[in-house]
Structure 1
Amino acid sequence: MSQTYSLPVLFVPDVVVLPGMVVPIPLDDAAQATVDAARASETGKLLVAPRLDDRYPTYGVIASIVQVGRIPGGGIAAVVKGEQRAQIGTGTPGHGAALWVEVTEVDAVEVTDDDRELAGEYKKLVLAMLQRREAWQLIDAVNKMSDPSDLADTSGYASWLSDEQKRELLETPVTAARLRLLIEWTGDHLAESEVTEKIAEDVRAGMDKQQKEFLLRQQLAAIRKELGEDEPEGADDYRGRVEAADLPEKVREAALREVGKLERASDQSPETGWIRTWLDTVLDLPWNTSTEDSTDVKGAREILDADHHGLDDVKDRIVEYLAVRARRAERGLQVVGGRGSGAVMVLAGPPGVGKTSLGESVARALGRKFVRVALGGVRDESEIRGHRRTYVGALPGRIVRAIGEAGSMNPVVLLDEIDKVGSDYRGDPAAALLEVLDPAQNHTFRDHYLDLDLDLSDVLFLATANVIENIPSALLDRMELVTLDGYTEDDKVAIARDYLLPRQAERAALTPDEVTVTDAALREIAANYTREPGVRQFERLLAKALRKAATNLAIESGEEETPTVPVTIDEPDLRDYLGRPRFTPESAERTAVPGVATGLAVTGMGGDVLFIEVNATEGEPGLKLTGQLGDVMKESAQIALSYVRAHAEQLGVDPKALDKTIHVHVPAGAVPKDGPSAGVTMVTALVSMATGRQVRSDVGMTGEVTLNGRVLPIGGVKQKLLAAQRNGLKTIFIPQRNEPDLDDVPAEVLDALDVRPMTDVAEIVAQALEVAVDAQVSAA
């Protein structure tokens, strides 16, 4: 049972006394009075409690006075031994000048298994801490302790616990609770000690390494001095280079700041390497270097015409740009570095039409340096804006590297395959290009690596793309669009005769006296061996023919002693050199049965014909679509069927013929197809199937249709008409609202085709279908 009695209380400010502790306590006048009162009492004991600033203590330790005497400083101290934890009650009267309080002993409770388990865990932590400090005598004492409460109260001697933590232990009478607190605090301190020791060990190892490297560097310097080799560039060398370089003022200030950091940094610091690399990059850029543009407008046009056939839109735009700059130079206006004085154009068209090679011709016509930046497959924004210098292996972006490679601030930069830029978790390069290609912003382009404003306003940017739809609209809005839709058959023959044939003959080491290719052969290759918008495959076939010719000449010269007869490759000879023609007119064969119509489409490879087949089978009325169609083409098929059903009488269709399962198929099912230009073709194919009338084999069509039969405008008219001519079509139906687009179509194409702008799909159907057999008999 707990005992309650009165004891004088001794408040101690700097130490917390727990049961079992023997502590010397310096005595002032108040403390001396408390000790005297205790020694004069019957029990000879006193209560030792912590002095708190914010509240009155609730627990203390009943202690006995072991000894009172003087300490080395001359003062008086009492050695007390804590015996029992007690709860402090109210004040009571007592003799002497001391403060007396009523205290209640905290009874010891029976030791539980939980107490023993916690005590064992805490003992392991204490022993680990003592072993770290090599306190072997204390380790023996702790090992001998078996009472969990006594073990917990030894924490009063723990130097790693604060006074606040010890007061909390004093005020926690339950043994298990005290042990849990001690396990948490001691474990945290032990982990912190291990981390601190590891850091200290790493620091010591690093210092040893630095001392070793310093010694080796001193020895290396002595060896270099004996060998007469130059020392690597130091901060003084960079300061001299910066001051001597022709840099803009802000760039010079930034470079000198970095030189100051280099001067203050240690040679062993990794930062010195970053600073040196950054300074080298800045000093290598042509900040104030620009080439002088040619002012000969006529000569520039002659260069462009000599390098490329056709492409008048691009040539006109370059000549206009050059003419304006020439006038600005004549009138003393700012030309180099002027805000917005550069140009940004995107050359869009199928492969093989000369988009990339045009950039070199433009640079030569302007008298500028040329740099090509390949963007196909780029998915990291840092490729455009550069990496921040904090990253290992950081580099400036491709734009800055292109400027450095060109050696001038006004080169022609070709951004190749801009439509094939991707995006992922590393950012969107297309978004980074917005600032590069905006004439109103690129005079202050900031690369992440340089972190300096770079003026790109005088750079002539040319971008190339195959599919405009793949370019983000915000990026496309910042560029002038120039389309290169492909070449006509006459263009291909002229390009082959003037450019491709001489180049391939030179590669095959053939002269015009040895091999001649006739225009008829070139036209046959363009018509029946290749059906591409460009001339890339055309050039491959020419190279193949010339290689065979070179082989034949080598065989003949080895077998005969007479001079070799020159080889002439004419149209009949192409089978021997290139094999059979790869393409033959197929519209007549494909449209020989009702339900097949010829449409026109645009792909990434240029214009092409598209055959749409329709069939009907017995079954539940509905629509079945095959051919890997996109959502837009699926909707076009549904609209076409709805229109034909609603206007069956007008179109001469028996409504019962549509109460079946209608199957619409677009061949080449492995190729995805989509786009809003197949509506009129599907309507024509449906009416052909339902009436049994064939579609004319020489007819092609393009356009979207509404539920009321109106023909809506589409895009890519020029590419589609070029494809129609290549495939031997004669009559082409286009939307009425696309008639202005015919101005861009070459005259020879319009002469070869009967292009009919239409507004009503019923008129297209009436003109596209063959005359019915009954009507032919009546006419006869």
Structure 2
Amino acid sequence: MSSTEFEGGNTSTEQNILPMMSLREVVMFPRSIVPLFVGRESSIKAIEEAIADYDKKIFLVTQEFPEKEKPEPEDLFRVGTVSKILQMLRLPDGTIKVLFEGMYRASWNPDSDDVVFGENFPLVNIDRVDDLPAEEHTTEALVRSVHEALEKFGKVNKKIAPETILAISTIRTAGKLADSIMPHLKVEFLKKQSILEMIDPIERLEAVYELLLGEIEIVSIEKRVKNRVKGQMEKNQREYYLNEQLKAINKEMGREDDPQAEAHELEEQLNEKNMEEESRERVRKEIKKLRQMAPSSAEYTVVRNYVDWVMELPWNKYKKTKLDIAEARKILDEDHYGLEKPKERILEYMAVQALVETIKGPILCFAGPPGVGKTSIARSIARAMGREFVRLSLGGVRDEAEIRGHRRTYVGALPGKIIQSLRRCEFSNPVICLDEVDKMSTDFRGDPSAALLEVLDPEQNGTFNDHYLDLDYDLSKVFFITTANDLHSIPLPLQDRMEIINLPGYLETEKMHIAKDFLLPKQVGEHGLKEDNLAISDNAMIDIIRTYTREAGVRNLERELAKVCRKTAMQIVESDDKSKSVHVTTANLSKILGVHKFRFGASEDKSLVGVSTGLAYTQVGGEMLMVEVVLMPGKGKVVITGKLGEVMQESAQAALSYIRSRSDLFGLKPDFHEKIDIHVHVPEGATPKDGPSAGITLCTAIASAFLNVPVRHDLAMTGEITLRGRVLPIGGLREKLLAAHRGLSKTVLIPIDNKKDLKDVPDAILKDLEIIPVENMDEVLSCALDNLTAEELFRGRDSATPIALNLIKDEYQAQPH
């Protein structure tokens, strides 16, 4: 409530008692005419009383708190305006419309005894308040400034009539001018009340002048905004009108789709995409091209397809991944038996991701023979992590554009397989399995393996640039898994970008678990059988594994079980008894699957001269390799057959040179090789064979043939040979020992440098095999040749030998064997 004191002002001694009416958010000024709607009962009675007994005079005072329905005396301001009621009109709803004319300022004292707040309306004793005298020269300068501002205000504010501005402009008195202007200014009522209480006309006019200048600025800004909005609306209306015309034209020409509407829809979709601003601007330019093209043009289709591809990609849209290690371990164990290394690696990645939110996706390469579960474990990884799974087969891919996409200038251009996969899965963090990465080839269209270098590099794939999109796309959150059978055909730079995890073949016991727990229930369900319809004994299952399959994986084993299920389904249908149960045992197994396809135990039944057993690592896992050597009268010619590669042929030559250099120690004549022909053959001649690890096997077979001493039939060997007889290390030891175990070998010779690799071999294999590490060929022959001691093998010759052979003999005798 105002506490303004009017000391020093001109207060009239004339006192009047008048009815008082309170106003809400309205301030009445002298010399102003204001219409008001009155609805409060007390206010209506005050007006009626003023008309009846007080010569239509009433004292109008503003409430300090407008929300109060029945204000108390302390809720009203001290200063108000004595007004005259010019007109009163009663309305049907009970309210009245009153036209007031302000006459002069007045004050009242709520603590005076003359104030009467009755039940109907208050009667107060008022004191008239006159303005203080003002200096003429000061008043004139201020009045002129206010007149100029008022004229400008009238130009920018069209709501005030020009006649009103003209009438106010004739006022030369500061106080009257201020009171005449205030009702036309949109100012809050508290500010108006403070100006009403000013009794100094110069101070009052200065405050009004300041408010007037502020209103001029506000009105100018509003006018500019309205003009801008109006211009925009006119532009929108114009565009709407033209668009409607275009729609009508398109409809007349048989084109129902509106290209402008399509472009507008594409822009709205673009704004919703969470993509980088640079990429967004590039796409916006393409959409702008669409607006300027005719839909019938060929280029329109090209640009539209490009924009559609960009819009349908999951830009920075990530699927929430599961980080429950225990649940992930459970899922991996449910889907796969064994494969501990791959499972542990995935759980490690998930554990790190639980601690670090922004870890880059690893690049894993599962290498191993077919059928060991490389692709299926990738699918299980995606399920364990709660991500989408996408499989891309790269077998036979020879075009770089399959990976990086075609340039848009080509007819039928498309993005690469990576971008296509992301479009299908609708998330930017799937598990993508690049299957058969070792089966890609190269021709004049480029090297796809080189294109994968960027995709599979965690330091580069954050800004992968597809040739078709020509935009940077973030692949760093994608979990890439590649599979391969043979790492030798993968370029070394590509191998360097991947973490190699070898998946060797399964043991016989592991195949039993997989067949009983995974493969058989799956095939029973797929063939419409029930669990009670088919039972396979453990011995029959072992017989299937041993004599009907010979593989590192379990794919052929699954085929044989599917065949058993088909035969079972046939018996059930023929007997018309769906509850019939078929029991498969070793006795009736051959009736169901036919004769045995393989002989269990690939090694020979007895020791033979010139026949040795080697171990090889192929794309299908470990294999046993038989080497046969026969001698025939001739002229020292060497014949090598069996579709051997260059490396194996060179190993055979090295083995022969080693034996010739040791002829005196073996008790052979120096010219033993000149009158005989040597034929080296590796059976299964239709199968290509190559690799250095057959060196000691070839040498053992040749030595056995020359010495006429048989090679142990229960012994297998692997290792590379040098001309000096050293045995060098080889790869794939685990797979080779699995093959030896399947072939029922009892003893295996391995290079001494491969002794460290035995930690990766299952204990079940090591328990059944005698592993002998060897360092040179002398040790190999001592162990391999049957019933022949080292002293008997290297017995030498007492007869005179040429000087050259003696020198060789002395040299080898000086070296440790």
TM over 0.5: yes
Matching residue's letter, 1:221? K
* 2:477 aligned residue: 458
Task: Determine if the alignment matches structure 1 residue 623 to structure 2 residue 638.
Answer: yes
Cα shift at 1:291: 1.1
SS for the counterpart of 1:572 is coil
> Contact 1:590/1:596 (CA < 8 Å) preserved in 2?
no
* 1:432 aligned residue: 451
Task: Determine if the alignment matches structure 1 residue 731 to structure 2 residue 750.
Answer: no
> Contact 1:587/1:598 (CA < 8 Å) preserved in 2?
no
> Contact 1:383/1:398 (CA < 8 Å) preserved in 2?
yes
747-756 or 564-573: bigger deviation: 564-573
Of 595, 599, 610, 2:614 maps to 599
SS for the counterpart of 2:483 is strand
Cα shift at 1:555: 2.6
Residues 636-692 of structure 1: CA distance to partner in whole angstroms, max 9, x if unpaired? Answer: 111101111111343455556534211111122222211111110011101111121
* 2:297 aligned residue: 269
Matching residue's letter, 2:436? E
Of 711, 720, 726, 2:736 maps to 720
> Contact 2:250/2:258 (CA < 8 Å) preserved in 1?
no
Cα shift at 1:585: 4.2
Matching residue's letter, 1:648? S
Task: Determine if the alignment matches structure 1 residue 492 to structure 2 residue 522.
Answer: no
> Contact 1:345/1:462 (CA < 8 Å) preserved in 2?
yes
Q: Write the distance in 2 (CA, Å) between the matches of 1:762 and 1:349.
A: 34
* 2:73 aligned residue: none
Q: Write the distance in 1 (CA, Å) between the matches of 2:367 and 2:470.
A: 33
* 1:658 aligned residue: 673
Matching residue's letter, 2:495? L
TM-score, normalization by structure 2? 0.64
Q: Write the distance in 1 (CA, Å) between the matches of 2:264 and 2:629.
A: 82
> Contact 2:631/2:679 (CA < 8 Å) preserved in 1?
yes
Structure 2: runs of 5 or more not aligned: 1-244, 793-817
Structure 1 residues 307 and 652: alpha-carbon distance in aligned structure 2, compared to 1, 3 A threshold: farther
SS for the counterpart of 1:672 is coil
* 2:597 aligned residue: 582
Residues 722-760 of structure 1: CA distance to partner in whole angstroms, max 9, x if unpaired? Answer: 111111111100101011111111121111211111101
Structure 1 residues 587 and 281: alpha-carbon distance in aligned structure 2, compared to 1, 3 A threshold: closer
Structure 1 residues 351 and 507: alpha-carbon distance in aligned structure 2, compared to 1, 3 A threshold: same
Aligned length in residues: 547
Cα shift at 1:556: 2.9
TM-score, normalization by structure 1? 0.67
Of 388, 399, 422, 1:403 maps to 422
> Contact 2:604/2:714 (CA < 8 Å) preserved in 1?
no
Structure 1 residues 233 and 370: alpha-carbon distance in aligned structure 2, compared to 1, 3 A threshold: farther
Of 298, 301, 319, 2:329 maps to 301
> Contact 2:259/2:291 (CA < 8 Å) preserved in 1?
no
Q: Write the distance in 2 (CA, Å) between the matches of 1:701 and 1:556.
A: 53
Cα shift at 1:284: 0.6
Q: Write the distance in 2 (CA, Å) between the matches of 1:217 and 1:616.
A: 94
Residues 567-594 of structure 1: CA distance to partner in whole angstroms, max 9, x if unpaired? Answer: 2112222111111221114655476430
SS for the counterpart of 1:487 is coil
Structure 1 residues 587 and 351: alpha-carbon distance in aligned structure 2, compared to 1, 3 A threshold: closer
> Contact 1:594/1:693 (CA < 8 Å) preserved in 2?
yes
Q: Write the distance in 1 (CA, Å) between the matches of 2:604 and 2:506.
A: 26
SS for the counterpart of 1:293 is coil
Structure 1 residues 281 and 229: alpha-carbon distance in aligned structure 2, compared to 1, 3 A threshold: closer
Q: Write the distance in 2 (CA, Å) between the matches of 1:478 and 1:761.
A: 38
> Contact 1:556/1:564 (CA < 8 Å) preserved in 2?
no
Q: Write the distance in 2 (CA, Å) between the matches of 1:235 and 1:551.
A: 61
Q: Write the distance in 1 (CA, Å) between the matches of 2:790 and 2:368.
A: 47
Structure 1: runs of 5 or more not aligned: 1-214, 330-334
Matching residue's letter, 1:280? D
Q: Write the distance in 1 (CA, Å) between the matches of 2:579 and 2:335.
A: 33
Cα shift at 1:312: 0.8
Cα shift at 1:393: 1.0
Of 669, 679, 683, 2:695 maps to 679
* 2:564 aligned residue: 545
Cα shift at 1:565: 5.0
* 1:288 aligned residue: 316
Of 706, 712, 719, 1:703 maps to 719
Structure 1 residues 661 and 230: alpha-carbon distance in aligned structure 2, compared to 1, 3 A threshold: same
* 2:770 aligned residue: 754
Cα shift at 1:288: 1.8
Q: Write the distance in 2 (CA, Å) between the matches of 1:345 and 1:773.
A: 49
SS for the counterpart of 1:298 is helix
Matching residue's letter, 1:614? V
Q: Write the distance in 2 (CA, Å) between the matches of 1:651 and 1:595.
A: 16
What fraction of aligned residue pairs are identical, expressed as a percent? 46
> Contact 2:371/2:554 (CA < 8 Å) preserved in 1?
yes
Cα shift at 1:621: 1.6
SS for the counterpart of 2:553 is coil
> Contact 1:350/1:484 (CA < 8 Å) preserved in 2?
yes
Structure 1 residues 557 and 268: alpha-carbon distance in aligned structure 2, compared to 1, 3 A threshold: closer
> Contact 2:519/2:558 (CA < 8 Å) preserved in 1?
yes
Task: Determine if the alignment matches structure 1 residue 472 to structure 2 residue 491.
Answer: yes
* 2:761 aligned residue: 745
SS for the counterpart of 1:279 is helix
SS for the counterpart of 1:287 is coil
Matching residue's letter, 2:684? A
Cα shift at 1:265: 2.9
Cα shift at 1:267: 3.4
Q: Write the distance in 1 (CA, Å) between the matches of 2:538 and 2:530.
A: 17
* 2:351 aligned residue: 323
Task: Determine if the alignment matches structure 1 residue 573 to structure 2 residue 588.
Answer: yes
Q: Write the distance in 1 (CA, Å) between the matches of 2:541 and 2:726.
A: 43
Q: Write the distance in 1 (CA, Å) between the matches of 2:699 and 2:539.
A: 40
Matching residue's letter, 2:349? Y
Of 282, 285, 288, 1:260 maps to 288
> Contact 1:369/1:411 (CA < 8 Å) preserved in 2?
yes
Cα shift at 1:231: 7.1
Alignment of 1:330-341 (within 5 A): 335=358, 341=360
SS for the counterpart of 1:481 is strand
Cα shift at 1:314: 0.6
Structure 1 residues 590 and 661: alpha-carbon distance in aligned structure 2, compared to 1, 3 A threshold: farther
> Contact 1:286/1:409 (CA < 8 Å) preserved in 2?
yes
Structure 1 residues 653 and 518: alpha-carbon distance in aligned structure 2, compared to 1, 3 A threshold: farther
253-262 or 281-290: bigger deviation: 253-262
Residues 383-422 of structure 1: CA distance to partner in whole angstroms, max 9, x if unpaired? Answer: 1100111111111110101111111111000001111111
SS for the counterpart of 1:415 is strand
Task: Determine if the alignment matches structure 1 residue 632 to structure 2 residue 647.
Answer: yes
Residues 59-87 of structure 1: CA distance to partner in whole angstroms, max 9, x if unpaired? Answer: xxxxxxxxxxxxxxxxxxxxxxxxxxxxx
Q: Write the distance in 1 (CA, Å) between the matches of 2:259 and 2:437.
A: 45
Structure 1 residues 301 and 389: alpha-carbon distance in aligned structure 2, compared to 1, 3 A threshold: same
SS for the counterpart of 2:787 is coil
Task: Determine if the alignment matches structure 1 residue 643 to structure 2 residue 658.
Answer: yes
The structure number with the bigger radius of gyration is 2
Task: Determine if the alignment matches structure 1 residue 221 to structure 2 residue 221.
Answer: no
* 2:361 aligned residue: 342
Of 357, 373, 378, 1:354 maps to 373
Of 365, 368, 373, 2:387 maps to 368
Structure 1 residues 220 and 552: alpha-carbon distance in aligned structure 2, compared to 1, 3 A threshold: same
* 2:167 aligned residue: none
Q: Write the distance in 1 (CA, Å) between the matches of 2:479 and 2:737.
A: 32
Structure 1 residues 313 and 498: alpha-carbon distance in aligned structure 2, compared to 1, 3 A threshold: same
Of 757, 763, 779, 1:763 maps to 779
> Contact 1:591/1:694 (CA < 8 Å) preserved in 2?
no
Q: Write the distance in 1 (CA, Å) between the matches of 2:672 and 2:715.
A: 25
> Contact 2:601/2:742 (CA < 8 Å) preserved in 1?
no
SS for the counterpart of 1:767 is helix
Q: Write the distance in 2 (CA, Å) between the matches of 1:774 and 1:602.
A: 30
Structure 1 residues 527 and 651: alpha-carbon distance in aligned structure 2, compared to 1, 3 A threshold: farther
